[in-house]
Structure formats: C-alpha cells, structure tokens
Structure 1
Amino acid sequence: MENKDLLEEAKKYGFTQDNQVWLKPFMNFPARQVGDVKEVEDESLQYFAFRFQTFQEKVNALLEKISTSENKGSFLMKVLHLKELVEKYDAIGDFEAIYHQLTQAENEIKVAISKNRDKNLTTKITLIEEAEALQESIDWKETTEKLKELRQNWIKTGPIDKALTDEIEDRFKNAVEVFFKRKKDFYQDKQSLLNRTLDKYKALIAESEALKNSEEWEETTKKLKDLQNRWKEVGGNLPRKTSTELWNTFRKAHNYFFERLKNKITVTKTESKDRFFEDNLNKKKQLVAEAQGLLQLNTHEAVKQAKELQAAWKKVGPVKGEESDRVWEQFIIACDKVFEVSSLEHFMRKKYPNADRNNHVEQVHNRINALRDFIKSDKQELEVLETNLGKLSSAPNNDAFRTMIQGKIKNFNRKIKTKTELIELFKSKLNKEVTG
C-alpha cells in the first residue's frame, strides 16, 4: 500500500490529538491511545497503520494454517490470543473486521472440536467395551498384549467433553485394572503354590537324609518307600532344572541306603532272609487278592478299604526284585481301579446330575465314554513324555531326569491299562445284562 493510501487508511480509523496517536472507537471498545507523535503527525499515523498491516498479516497467516489443517482445534488458543490483542494492540486499522474474522474462525474451530470430541467419545466407548470384554480372560499373555494395544489407542485418541472425561477415564482404567489385578493374583498364587511344593520336596529330602545311615533295615525300607510315594504325590510344576536337582538329591539319599542294604543282604544272606522275603511275598499276594475283590463293594467302602490295604502293604517288608515288581504292579492296578471308579463316579455326578433318571444301560455307556475320554487325555500326556524322552541325550548327567520321565511314562501306561480294563469290565457287565 502506498504511503498516501496508508495515510488515508490511518485517518479513517485513527487521529492525533495533543501530540498523541489515537485509535477511533469501534464496536464496544472506546477510543484509546496507541502511541505518541514523534515529529510529524502524518508519519506517526502511517507508522501505526503499517503496524496494523503487520498484525493483519499475522492474522491472515493463522487463518490460512487453520483452513488447511486437519487438527483445527490446536489453533483455538492462538485465535483467542489474537482476539485479546485486538483491544490492546498498538496500531491503527480496521480492527473490527479482524475481530469478526477471528470470531468466525473461533466458532468454526469450536464446531470442529465438538465434532472431534463426539468422535473421540465414540472411539473411547468402543475401547472401553473391548477392555471390559477382556476383564475375565485367563489368556494372560495374549490379553496383556491386547490391553497394551488398547492403552496406546486410548492415548492416541483426542480429548472429549470435560464433563464426561473423569467418568470415561475411570471406566477404562477400571476395566484394565480388573484384568491386571486378576493376573497379579494368579501369578502370586502360582508362586505361593510353587514355594509350598518346593518346601514339601525339601522336607522329604531332609527325612531321607536323616534315614540313609539307619541300621533299622526293615523299618527304614518301609519309611523310604513311603517317602518315595509321597514324593510322587507332591506333583507341582517346578522349573525343570530345580525339579531335576531336587530329585537327584532325594534319589542320592535313597540310593545310599539301599546300596548299604544290598551289601548287608549280600554279606549276611541266609535261609532266614529267604523265608523273610517269602513271607513278605505271601502277605503281599494276600493283599493283592483282597484288593482285586474291592470292586464288588460300593464305591465309598471300596475306597476306604483300598486305603487300609495300602497302609497294610507299607507295613510288609521287602520282596525280591522281580517278584516285588510283579506283585506291586498287581496290587497298585487293583487299587488304581478302585480310585479310578471313585473319580469316575464323582465326574459322572457333576456332568450328569440327573443321571439316576436314565436307564442303567445308558448310565453304563456314559461311563464307558467318559473313560475313553480320560484315556485319550492320558495318551496325549504320554505322547509328550515319550517325545521328550526321545529327545534326551544319552549323556550321564541326564540319567536322573531320564529315570524320572521313564517313571512317569510307566505310571501313564498303568493308568491307561487300568482304565482300559475298567471299560472291558463295564462292557462285560453290560453284555450280561443285555443277554440275561
């Protein structure tokens, strides 16, 4: 703009008085002094008109950015700041036009903000619903990753109406915290269980160490075998390295005692010893016979007597190797059948609470099907163990672990055999009922 035009523009919106430069009143704003006349009045007016041009350029630049930006809300404070300057910026010009420009921009931004906040609210409600749907999940790893992703999406989502912010934020936070508290409690319980399991194994090791030098051969043998049974019953899921180290320590104490027993028997081998073993074998055969007849009793009584027979078995002394394994296998399978039937009946009562309304044939079929499912599960476990055993190197330091796996494989084979024989027993009874 030429100086002449600039001066005319300045006189249109400003004036000088008493050696001062004034901006004329506009809208609801009164006239105000914007500066002083330095030397020449017209030049002073031109100077402040030029300052207005600079201010106008700043406003135009902001409005241009707003018009091309997707995030218009980020410019609201800048617009409000320029509106505040309208009433105090030292310049002469059409501040009213600028005020209206900025007001229009402010309104447009607020509309955009409102729309964005509605959109953000919809997004956040969706994220809340997704988080709430995951609250009760037990897939700890996958759900943790999903909730972390939801958190990132939540952070990336813009603000919503302030009146709803606290409520929405709390609802999302609570949904996420419910899961992570459950996860924390789960792993704390798991660790507590592992600690209890570890303490049980250590207690059995301490008892074994205390017995390994005993001269009470018969009594100590029974105690150590009892400790071995208790070891098997502990279970738990300790880390493989820890489990192996504990087992090696436990087995070392037992091996030490039984090696001493073996040497004792070799050195002092007599006819009385042979009779001792023979008597024990006969006692155990009698216990086997009694155990094999338990399935003729009702389940509750059979379980009770099976436990009594197991206690009696522990009081019987050792039997020679092959006979010991054979009679023990017979005895444990007979007892296992009792306990399997007890577990089966418990399962049937839970799965078929109104099963007594069904006919007997259907009840038997249900039991056979349940046993088949149990066998399928056992075989899957067995396959994993056999795979692990096949992968185990022949290195001597793997002997203890190999023995443990082989023991578990033997137990699962026995379980499968027991359940298979029970199926055949049920089938036999069923055929007798159908043909009879």
Structure 2
Amino acid sequence: MSSDPWGRVDETGTVYVRTADGEKVVGSWQAGSPEEALAYFERKYEGLVVEIGLLEKRVKTTDLSAKDAQTAIDHLREQVDAHHAVGDLDALRTRLDKLVELVDKRREERKVQRAKQSDEARGAKEALVAEAEELAGSDQWRAAGERLRSLVDTWKGLPRLDRKSDDELWHRFSHARSAFSKRRKQHFAQLDAQREDARQTKERLVAEAEALSNSTEWGPTAARYRDLMSEWKAAGRAQREHEDDLWNRFRGAQDVFFAARSSVFAERDAEQTENLKLKEELAEEAEKLLPVTDLKAARAAFRSVNERWEAIGHVPRDARPKVEGRMHAVERALQEAEESEWRRTNPEARARAEGLTGQLQAAVDKLRSQIEQARAQGNNARADKLQRELEGRQALLDQALKGLHEFGG
C-alpha cells in the first residue's frame, strides 16, 4: 500500500483521493506499482490545475463571452467532481466557484455597458432623425443632399437598438429623406417646365418681331418692339440649347427694322453718337462686374445698368454690334454663372454625365485591350485601325470628363 497527503492505493490496487467529504474512489490500478498509480492520477490533477489556470486567464484578460466561460467552467467542474485525479480537489472547486462569481460580475458589467451603449446609440439616432427632418424642408438642394447622404453613413455605423425602436426611428429618418428627394425633384421639374414655357413664349415673340421687321410705321413699331423686349425679359430663360438661337432671331428682326428707321432719321446721328458714348460708359461699368463672385449682387447691379442702357436710346448702326456685344458678353457671363449653379444642383444631369463617362471609359479600356492583343498577334494593321478609333473615343472621354468636372465631381 502507498499514499501521499491527498491520496492512497490499497492492497487491491484501488486508488483513493482525500476530500473534505472523506475519501473518494479515483479508480483501479493494475498496470504497475502503487507509486506509479499515484503519480498517474497526480498528473491528471496537475492537468486540471493547468486547465483552470488557463481559463482564469482567459476570463480576466480576453473578451470571452459569459456563456462560453460558463460552459468551460461546467466542463471542468464535471471533471473535478468525477474524482479521477489525486490532489486538492476542494481547492479546485473553490477556484471554480470564484471564477463563476467573476463571470457573473463580468456579465452584469457587460449588461450595464450594453445598456449604456444602447442609450448612446438611441440618442445619436434621435439626433440624426431630428437633423434629417429639419433638412427635409431645406431649399439648399446640393448642401442638404450631401448632408443627408453623410447622415446615412453615420447611421450605418451606429449599433442597432431593439427592433421596434430601431424600426420606428429608421421610418422617420427614411421618410425625411424621401420628403426632401420629392421636393427636390419637384423643384427641378418646375424649373424645366418654366424653361419650356419661356421657350414657347419667346417663339411667339420672335414670330411677331420678324413680322414687324419690315414695318415703316416707325413710332408705333418701335414702341411695340420695346414692349416685346419687356415681355422677352419677363419670360425668363429658355433651355440653353434654344436661348441663343431665339435671341439672335429676335434681335436680328429688330435690327432690320431699326436699321431701316435709322436710314430715314439720319438727322438723329448726332444724338445717336452721344448715345453711343453713354452706352460705352455703361458697357465699361457692366464689364467691371466680371468675373462674377457674388451672383445676386452682380445681377442687381447689371439690372441697374441695363435699365439706364434701355433709357438711352439707339446708337449709330455700325457701332451697335460692338457696344451691344460688350453688354451681351456680360449678360452671357451672368447667365453662365446661373446655369453653372443650376447644373451643380441638378442630380439628374450629373447622373447622366457620370453614366456617359463610365460608358466611354469602358469603351476606351476595351479598345486598349484589343490593341494589345492585335500587337501580340502581329496584326499591326488591325492595331493601327483600333488605335485611330481609340483616339476618337479618348477625345470624347476627355470632353465628358471636362463636363463632369463642371458638376464639382
């Protein structure tokens, strides 16, 4: 028979371990000496000590979940309670009990932490919803649209709440974005409708101006042309592709009439020479508005200049194109500034530009690949033909990229 402080082996080869509840049978050993039996089961005990130590370290130093930790504790407790080892099993039970307490404490801490994170996430999402609902009524189409997209990215980075709360807040957030998008779409649709109305109005004004161009009723016709000009200005701008052509026809019809009138009223040359001097001064004043930095202020200043311009009267026929061209150049610059602002805030036009650019880029990439393949196959004639086609596509792509740059993208 052999023994140590925590166990013994009797004459039949039965191994016992000593516990606070008395001796427990560990197992039977018939393979060697009693000392070897004790050494074998002591090694099993040391193995349990190592496993418990490792679990203690994992619980204290890693983010091991409470569920996984408890499963590991239960597994080790089953091995300790099975009494298949020789050593201070009661000490191991005590360590496992303390580990359970630590896991429970960590569980409560994490529960509190999750509750805190949930409250913070709720507050953050409520703030995002409030801002989105405020932006829904904004007329700053570009800035508000970009901010709403930024809010979506922020939302995606926040933790989810309980399903009911999260769904309710998301519904409000989504509704605000939809409301803004609907208003923006209506705004640009209205702008397009206004431009179409302006085009139809100016078509009518051009037709009347052309019909009057051969009139010899100088006074009434000149007065009617002034009325037509007022109606022209009141009509607003047509689509860009129509505006210049309509203006040239409208102005050309007036030129025909006023040229004829000027030949009849040659005695007014002196007055017209003075008018030219005044209009040149106004043209110089208008040119100082360029380049446009404050569109609203420049528009107001140009309107003042233009009103004084219109009050002056006619200038000598041969000088008119140059002086009027100076004023028209300033007006065109202001119109371009307005057009640029409109394009930057038009998401549909930007999307079309991006789509075209993408298609052209794909075509250029494909041609380059085909050229490389033709060169590799020794087909230089086909490669040269494809190279010429590539140059044409590249030119179109460069133009499309230049247009896309105007959108600020």
TM-score (norm 2): 0.47
